[in-house]
Amino acid sequence: MSSTSKQPHGIFITGTDTGVGKTVVAAGLALALKAKGIDVGVMKPVETGCQLQNGQLLAEDALFLQKISGVGDDLSAINPYRLKDPLAPAIAAERDGVKIDLDVIRHVYLGLASRHEVVIVEGAGGLLVPLTERYFMADLARQLELPLLLVSRASLGTINHTLLSLHYARQRTLSVLGIVMNHTSPEMGLAEQTNKAALKRWADCPFLGAIPFMPVINRDTLISVFKSNLDLAPILEYLEGS
């Protein structure tokens, strides 16, 4: 893929809920695309629940993405907003006295997009998580003009959460590249065993893979697991065709 394309390339990683493993999927996707020779950037526009260390808020997810992807971009570009409380960004920002500006996020994103062939942008929670008083995560994806990659959990309830997320995305005319089911637990009950087939049956959306539970998450395990379990074809088609 040529890096001289007029239109910036990016993918917005969203989830059916919080704690579904968006950061793991974003990092794994970055490595999978890099293995294809694509220059990948990463971005976590807003991170909440940051711990205070040495007088500064530590954005663990953004640091993980930076480290795993091996990018040379400053953390301030990868993660322009760090907030203390583990809450929805709008609420955490209010408590920290911070104003989240979508135009600032877009400006930072375009800077990253000018340096990379594709930028993987990880949202916070799901599409209806409030980012500001008037804007939700779906609005950010729309403003950045990015297609979605929807991360779902494997456990009971994921069918409803996934179908609702897809329904809302379509209402907002957001393009969805596909679904990635992520096993965040080693449990393999009946729901975990059948939900993959269920989503393929009812989601009316490409199912790109089911990521198994990884007791240890590092660069080597991510490369191996995502190479074996992630179908990149719809993503590569989007990158080549847009």
Give the active site residues. 44
Burial class (CB in 10 A: 0-12, 13-18, 19+), 233: exposed
Which of 21, 34, 107, 106 is closest to 71 using CA atoms?
34
**Angle, alpha carbons 135-138-143 (nearest 5°):** 80
Instruction: Please check whether residue 121 is in contact with residue 144, taking contact to mean a CB–CB distance below 8 angstroms.
Output: yes
Q: How far apart are CA 103 and CA 194, in angstroms?
A: 42
Cβ neighbours of 234 (radius 10 Å) = 17
Cβ-count burial 151-161 (b if 16+ within 10 Å, e if not): bbbbbeebbeb
